[in-house]
Amino acid sequence: MNIQEEKAYKELAILEDRYPVLKAVHNEVWEAFSMMRDSFLKGGKLLLCGNGGSAADSDHIVGELMKSFCAKRKIKPELQSRLQELYGEEAEYFTKHLEQGLPAISFSSQTALHTAFSNDQDEALFYAQCLLGYGKKEDVLFGISTSGNAKNVGYALKLAKAMGIPSILLTGKDGGTGKDLADLSIIVPSGETYQIQELHLPIYHSLCLMLEQYFFG
């Protein structure tokens, strides 16, 4: 384990110290981190989808990844130099306020596309349509469904498999039908929807912290 991985692993240990019940998904959370890390290292991005509270969670994850979360994320030196070369003193404004992001897109935030597609086609395939347009093999699809049975998330997971895109499902209960569709399923130990959602948040916060520590810590 290298230094960056040790920093990430410490965040996982903090998660389990605060939420002992999540020790049950220790291996799955570490594997999810590893899948997303490898994707970003290859120039990929994280593609997220979910419904209701899980749609909000998808947007939340994007907000933590695309800007600084807990660590400073200065833009890359080569970009700073190019800005200085092009804009002189004004470059300081960019370098002072911009933060390096980890690329992530929430399908639930695509309102205009969603309404356009749903008006013309089967709405259940909307997340699959987003994956078809955005997805490439270097990416990771991250689906969130408390039951694991969300139809639109399931279709996206099926298409991901056909496109050769690795997939993660964050879920609960018994994992539903989605657990057999995703390459990796994180099934939190709860059967109540609101409790599942309560456990999802610390998991994805931890994953975002783990990634931030690996790339910027």
Question: 42: which residues sit within 8 A by CB, 6+ positions away?
Answer: 138
Quick one: 137 exposed, middle or buried, by C-beta within 10 A (0-12, 13-18, 19+)? exposed
pLDDT at residue 195, as a whole number: 97
pLDDT at 23: 98
Yes or no: say if 169 and 178 are a contact pair by the CB < 8 Å rule. Answer: yes
Average pLDDT, the chain: 97
Q: Are 161 and 167 in contact (CB under 8 A)?
A: yes
* Cβ atoms of 174 and 148 closer than 8 Å: yes
| Pairwise CA distance, residues 168 & 184, whole Å | 5
Structure tokens at 113: 């596309």
- pLDDT at 1 (0 to 100): 82
pLDDT digits (tens, 9 = 90+) for 86-105: 999 999 999 999 999 999 99
Q: Evaluate the CA torsion angle 197, 44, 75, 207 in order and state its sign.
A: positive
Please identify which residue in the block is written with the tokens 């991985």.
5
Q: Which two three-digit tokens encode residue 149?
A: 């049975």
Q: What is the mean pLDDT of each run of 10 residues along the chain (217 residues)?
A: 93 97 98 98 98 98 97 95 96 97 97 96 97 98 98 98 98 97 98 97 98 96
- Tokens matching residue 112: 């205009």
- Tell me: the pLDDT tens digits for 165-182? 999 999 999 999 999 999
